[in-house]
Amino acid sequence: MKRIRELEVWSAPGTNLPQDFGKLVFAPQMWEAGWPKEVVLGLSLIPGPTDVENLRLCLDAGELFLDEFQHYCRCRDLPADARSEVSAESFLQFSYGVAIAWVHLNEDQEEQFVPLILAQVRSAGLALVDPALGACLL
């Protein structure tokens, strides 16, 4: 059995993409460019309780600041309440970026396809992340 290399396409910090960008925009662009549907899978961003909990953890750890969160929300007409799933998801996405697609490659495809995928991801202003390494691929 072949090993599968799983990579993630992430938005850049400092940006907010529509909830269905990965599924309705990025993945179809990749498919139109010739990538098989089983290689690139777009994700939808659905705000939920996990976003509220992650925001709370970031605020408690001092990674993010409540006054910045509230200012961000006021500037975007979002509820400035850290318990708001929509506000929490939006602020976390803006602060850290977010996974918008998965890329699955057979181990024998890595050398050939990673540079091509990386070029397309970069041209879209996105980042290619290897979750196993916990790092962006450059």
* Domain range summary for the chain, segments of one domain joined by +: 1-45+98-138, 47-95
**Residue in 6, 2, 3, 4 with CA at minimum distance from that of residue 128:** 6
Which DSSP string do the residues of 55-79 spell out, in sequence order? HHHHHHHTSS-HHHHHHHHHHTT--
At 84 the three-state DSSP class reads coil
Q: CB-based burial of residue 85 (10 Å sphere; 0-12 exposed, 13-18 middle, 19+ buried)?
A: middle
pLDDT for position 110: 83
pLDDT for position 28: 95
> How is residue 101 written in tokens?
């697609």
Cβ neighbours of 7 (radius 10 Å): 24
What's the pTM?
0.88
pLDDT for position 138: 64
Rounded Cα distance between 105 and 80, Å, is: 41
pLDDT for position 106: 87
**What is the pLDDT tens value at each position of the chain, 138 positions in all?**
778 889 999 999 999 999 999 999 999 999 998 888 889 999 999 999 999 999 999 999 999 999 999 999 999 999 999 999 999 999 999 999 999 999 999 888 888 888 889 999 999 999 999 998 888 886
b/e map 70-79, b = 16+ CB within 10 Å: bebbeeeebe
